[in-house]
Structure 1
Amino acid sequence: MSSRTISTEAVPSSVLHASLSIDPPNIVRAQGHYLHTSTGTAIYDASNGAAVSCIGHNHPRVKLAMQQQLDAVEYCFAPHFTTPAYEKLAKFLVDSTNGKMQKVFVTGSGSEAIEATIKMARQYYVEKGELQRTKFIARDRSYHGNTFGALDVSGHKARRTIYEPMLGGNTSHISPCYPYRDLRWGETTPQYVERLAQELEDEFQRVGPETVCGVVFETMAGLTLGAVASVPGYLKKMKEVCERHGALFILDEVFAGMGRTGSLHAWEQEDVIPDLQTVAKGLGAGYVPIGALMVGKKVVDVLDRGTKAFVHFQTYHGHPLACAAAYEVQQVIQDQGLVENCKRMGEYLGEALRARLGAHPNVGDIRGRGLAWAIELVKDRNTKEPFPVKQKVAPTIHAAGLQKFEIAVLPGGGVVDGVNGDLVVLAPAYDVNREEVDLIVHRAAKSIEHVLGPTTVAAKL
C-alpha cells in the first residue's frame, strides 16, 4: 500500500474562466433540458447556453450521425477537397431559402462567419472595380462577434473599449431599432421607421456613399439589446437606403436564425432578402462548433464573372463532423415540427411572462419573438432609469437562478448606453412544452424577486 498522502485540498483550475476568483458550476452530464452538476444539482437550461442548444442535450440522432461521420471521414482540408457532409448541409441551407441564397461557406463559429462576410463584401466590390469601398455601417449596442473584424462592426461599448485602439475603425454606428427607449412621444411606428431610415441616409452621406461596402444588422437583436424584433417595415426601408447607394444589405442571424424567432430564417418575417447572411447558434445546436456565411445571387454572379474564387479560407472551414452534426440537427427540427412549436410556445412564453412579471416595479419591458424573450430591468419603471452597472443586477439574478432556483438564464448589460442597463434573456429549446414554459417563468420570476423584491400588484404590461 502506498504511503503517499492524498491531499483533500481543492486543486486550482487550470482553465482561464470568465472570473479568476469564482469557479463556475462543474457540469458532468447534460440530458434533455437539464444540466447536471458535480454536486448533484439539476439546472434547467432556460438559456440554451448562449441561445445554442435548441434541440436539447444528448440527442441520440445527432450522436449517431456524428459517429457515422467519424467512421467515414473526420477531417479533410476544405480548400482542396469536399465531402458529402459539406455538400448536404450547403444544399439544405440553399434550399431552405428557395434558392434566394445560392452558396454557403461553413465556418467554425458565428464570429468567423462574420469575418468571412466582411471579406466577401470587400471582395465583391474589388471584383466590380469599386476599390474605394472599404467601410461598413452597423448599429450601436449591436454584437457580431469577438474576433477583431467582428468586434469592429459590433457596437457594444463594453466589449469594444479596451480593444478600440487596435480595431480597424472602418465601421460607423447608427441608432438601433429600440422602440421601448427610442420611440418618441406621439410618434407613430411609420414615422419612427422614417426617422431611422433618414439617420442611415445621413450616415451614408457623412462617410461618403461610394465608400460603403455594406450595412450589417442583426435581423433581431440578441443579448446586447435584448431580443428586440424589428418594427414593421424597418428592415425593408433600411434595405432601400442600401440599394440606393449600391451597398450590400447584410443580415446577421447568428442569434435569431435557424428557427429561434419562429421561422427558419428570421428575415422571412420581415419581407426582405439579404445579400449576405450569417447563421450559427441554431445551426448546430452546440453539438459541434459551427457557423455559416450564406451568399446571395448578386454576389455569386460577380464572383462567377470574375476570379471565380473566394479569397479566404480557414483550416477547419467546412469541417465534415460539424456539417454532419448540423445537418442532422436540422432534420430533427424539420421532422419534429420544432420551428412551428417555437412560434407557438414563444407566444405562450410571452403571455406567461407578462402575467407573472408585468407588474413588477423593476420590470420596464418584456419583449421577444419565438423562443427569445428579454426582461429589461429598471430602477424606476416610470422614468426608465437603469440600475447603475456597479450594482450588477443581472449577474446577481443569474447567480441566484443557478444557486437557489436551479435555472440558467442569460444576464445582459449595457442595453441603455453600452455600459448601464440590465437584462435577463430566456431562450429555451425549440421542443419545450407548456408545462416547461410554466416552470421557466416560475423559476425566472423567483430569481428576479429574490434580488429585487416581490411583485405587489396584479397587473399586466
Structure 2
Amino acid sequence: MSPMTTLVNDGNVIVKPMSTKQAASRRASNGGDNQQVTSAVLHRSLHHVPLRVESAKGHYLHLSNGQDIFDATGGAAVACLGHGNERQVHNHPSKHLSATLTMHRVRESINDQMKSVSYCHSLFYATSAAEDLARLLIDSTGGEMARAFFISSGSEAIEAALKLARQYFIEKKPAEPHRTQFIARQQSYHGTTLGALAVGGHVARRALYEPLLSGNNSLVSPCYSYRGPKDATESEESYVRRLEAELDAEFHRIGPNKVAAFVAEPVVGAALGCVPPVKGYFEAVRRVCDKHGALLILDEIMCGSGRTGPVPTARYPNPLHAWQDPLVGVVPDIMVVAKGLGGGYMPIAAMLANHRVMDALQQGSGSFGHGQTYQGHPLACRAALEVQRIVQENDLVSNVRKQGVLLGKLLKARLGGHPAVGDVRGKGLFWGIEFVRDKGTKEPFAPGEAVAMGVHELGMQEPHNISLYPGTGSVNGRSGDHILIAPAYTVTAQEIQHVVDVTARVIELFFHKYGDRYRSKSGGGRAMMVGQ
C-alpha cells in the first residue's frame, strides 16, 4: 500500500495516495524512513514529515534532497520580499531604477532591536518599534484609521476585531449591547481559532469543530463572478443589486439592531482562490451596513499589504491596502492585515480601527478589553517596519501592479482555453486558477479526487520544481479545486514568464496523464479529453 500525502491547508485536510516516486523523494529529503517515525514535531500530517528546507534565497527554497523549488506563492502569500537576507534586487520599476535593494536590512534591523530590547510586556511598557510601525500603517491609510494593534497571526487579528466590534457597541453613546451577531459570506475563511472559524463559512474547515463554534454568525452569498450570476446575461449591476438585497434581507431576518458587523475579504484568498469583487459590490455592502448601523470589518490578512497592487487615486496616491483600490472603494471601520505585513521574517499581524470606533472607546472606558503576551512584540514590529519601509522606499507596489498585469495576461492566454480550467482570476500578484470537470456546466471535481493537491504534488517533482498553493471548497465549501499563484513583489517579467510556463506545463501534464480518471461524467458542456 502506498503512503499517503496529506495537505492541511489552513485547516482543510485533503488526503490522497502518494506515488512511489513522491514517497522516495520525501524519504531522501528527510533523512530516510526513520525520520518519519522519530520526528518530535507534531506536523500537519502524521503520515510523513514535510520536505525539509535547508536554505532559501530569492524565489527559491533549497531542499535537503538537492531540489531547488521555485516558490511561486511565497508560502501562503507571505514572503512578499522573497526568501533570504542577502538577495539583491535591481528590477523594480520606480524612478530609482538603479537602486539596489538588499534583504540584509531586515536581518540587521532585527539584530539591532535585540541589542536594545527583545521583549517587554505591553501592559506596562511601549517600544519605538511598535510605535513607529503603527504610525507607518496609520499614515498608509491616509489617516482613515486611528490606532493599530499588533499580534502574531491573522486568526488572532480577527479575534481582536470581533472583540473590538463588541466593545464598540457597549461603549458608544447610546450603547447597543444587543448587537452580538456577525454576518460573513459562504466559502469564506477568516482564521483557524474558534472565533475566527465560527465567523467564516468554509464548510470543510468548520466540520470537525462545529459543536464548539458559536451560533451568533450567519452567512450570505459571496461575490463570485464566475459562479454567482444567474447566467451569462445577468449584468454586473443586476448581480450587485441581488447581493445587496440578500444582505439587507439577512439583516432583517436576524433583526437589524442585532448585527454588530459584516466581515469580508476585499479579494478572497485561499477559500475561493483569488476572487476580486464585482465593481460596486462593496459600495452596496457599505450602504447596507450604514443603513442598519453595523460596522464593516475587512479582512486583508492574505490580500493586503500591497499584494493586490491597488491602483493609485487622487485620494490615495500611494495605496497599500486592498480597500484603497477603486474596485473596492470603501473605507472599513476595522481592518486586519498579516501575511505580507512582516514578509515571513517574523510572525506578526495587525488590527486597525477607524476614528469612529476609537472615539467611542476613548469617551467610554478609555481602554481596549483585550490583550496578549506577545502583543506588540518589538522584534516582530521592527522586522515588519523594515519590510514595509523597503516596500515603500522602492515603490514595490508599482511592480506588483505591472507584473500582475503580465501574470494575468499570460495565464489567461496559456490556460484560458484548457478544458479543465474553468476560470483564471486575480489582481496584482494574487491569481487563482479554478479547475472543473466540465467547462460548459462548470461541474467541479469531487472532493476525494484531490485535483488541486495532485497539481501541487506534480509541480513539486523534477523537472518542474515549482510550489503552487492548492485550495478546495470554492463551490460549496467542500467541492471545487483551485491553485493560487502569489510570487514576491520583487519578481521580474522573466520570472513571471517562467512561472507561467512551468505552471501551464504542470497542469497540461497532470490532466494528460490522469485525464481518463477525471473525464466528465455529466455529459453536458465540453468534456475534458485526455491529451488536450
TM-score category by the smaller chain? over 0.9
Aligned to 2:42: 16
Instruction: Determine the C-alpha separation between the residues in 2 that align with 1:109 and 1:356.
Output: 36
Instruction: Determine the C-alpha separation between the residues in 1 that align with 2:479 and 2:508.
Output: 20
Cα deviation for residue 38 of structure 1 reads: 0.4
Instruction: Determine the C-alpha separation between the residues in 2 that align with 1:18 and 1:423.
Output: 20
Cα deviation for residue 18 of structure 1 reads: 2.2
Aligned to 1:446: 505
Aligned to 1:3: none
Deviations 1:202-230 (A, max 9, x none): 00000111111100010110011110101
Instruction: Determine the C-alpha separation between the residues in 2 that align with 1:192 and 1:111.
Output: 31
Aligned to 1:118: 162
Aligned to 1:301: 359
SS of the aligned residue for 1:365 comes to: strand
Aligned to 2:145: 101
Within 5 Å, which residues of 2 pair with 1:163-178? Answer: 163-178=209-224
Cα deviation for residue 8 of structure 1 reads: 7.8
Q: Which amino acid is the alignment partner of residue 352 of structure 1?
A: L
Aligned to 1:245: 292
Instruction: Determine the C-alpha separation between the residues in 2 that align with 1:26 and 1:448.
Output: 25
Aligned to 1:349: 407
**Residue 422 (1) aligns with residue 446 (2):** no
Find the partner of 2:433 among 375, 392, 415.
375
Which deviates the most, 435-444 or 7-16?
7-16
Aligned to 1:318: 376
Q: TM-score if structure 1 supplies the norm length?
A: 0.96
Listed as ranges, the gaps of 5+ residues in structure 1 are: 1-6
Alpha-carbon spacing, 1:191–1:8, altered in 2? closer, same or farther (3 Å) = closer
**Residue 258 (1) aligns with residue 317 (2):** no
Aligned to 1:204: 251
Cα deviation for residue 23 of structure 1 reads: 2.5
Within 5 Å, which residues of 2 pair with 1:16-55? Answer: 16-55=42-81
Cα deviation for residue 22 of structure 1 reads: 2.8
Cα deviation for residue 9 of structure 1 reads: 6.0
Find the partner of 1:131 among 161, 164, 177.
177
Listed as ranges, the gaps of 5+ residues in structure 2 are: 1-30, 85-102, 311-319, 516-527
Deviations 1:273-325 (A, max 9, x none): 00000000110001000000000010011011110100000000100000000
**Residue 413 (1) aligns with residue 456 (2):** no
SS of the aligned residue for 2:247 comes to: helix
Q: Which amino acid is the alignment partner of residue 56 of structure 1?
A: G
Instruction: Determine the C-alpha separation between the residues in 2 that align with 1:9 and 1:135.
Output: 50
Aligned to 1:57: 83
Within 5 Å, which residues of 2 pair with 1:47-86? Answer: 47-58=73-84, 59-86=103-130
Alpha-carbon spacing, 1:356–1:127, altered in 2? closer, same or farther (3 Å) = same
Instruction: Determine the C-alpha separation between the residues in 2 that align with 1:138 and 1:421.
Output: 20
The CA RMSD measured in Å over matched residues stands at 1.5
SS of the aligned residue for 1:453 comes to: helix
Deviations 1:322-348 (A, max 9, x none): 000000000111122110000110000
Instruction: Determine the C-alpha separation between the residues in 1 that align with 2:407 and 2:213.
Output: 39
**Residue 328 (1) aligns with residue 386 (2):** yes
**Residue 90 (1) aligns with residue 146 (2):** no
Cα deviation for residue 50 of structure 1 reads: 0.4
SS of the aligned residue for 1:229 comes to: coil
Instruction: Determine the C-alpha separation between the residues in 2 that align with 1:37 and 1:389.
Output: 30
* Higher percent of residues as helix: 1
Aligned to 1:236: 283
**Residue 268 (1) aligns with residue 294 (2):** no
Alpha-carbon spacing, 1:384–1:135, altered in 2? closer, same or farther (3 Å) = same
Which deviates the most, 444-453 or 80-89?
444-453
Q: Which amino acid is the alignment partner of residue 346 of structure 2?
A: V
Cα deviation for residue 153 of structure 1 reads: 0.7
Size of the alignment, in residue pairs? 451
Q: Which amino acid is the alignment partner of residue 158 of structure 1?
A: A
Cα deviation for residue 271 of structure 1 reads: 1.5
Instruction: Determine the C-alpha separation between the residues in 2 that align with 1:392 and 1:15.
Output: 26
Instruction: Determine the C-alpha separation between the residues in 2 that align with 1:79 and 1:110.
Output: 21
Cα deviation for residue 364 of structure 1 reads: 0.4
SS of the aligned residue for 1:181 comes to: coil
Instruction: Determine the C-alpha separation between the residues in 1 that align with 2:142 and 2:422.
Output: 40
Q: TM-score if structure 2 supplies the norm length?
A: 0.83
Aligned to 2:94: none
Alpha-carbon spacing, 1:9–1:50, altered in 2? closer, same or farther (3 Å) = closer
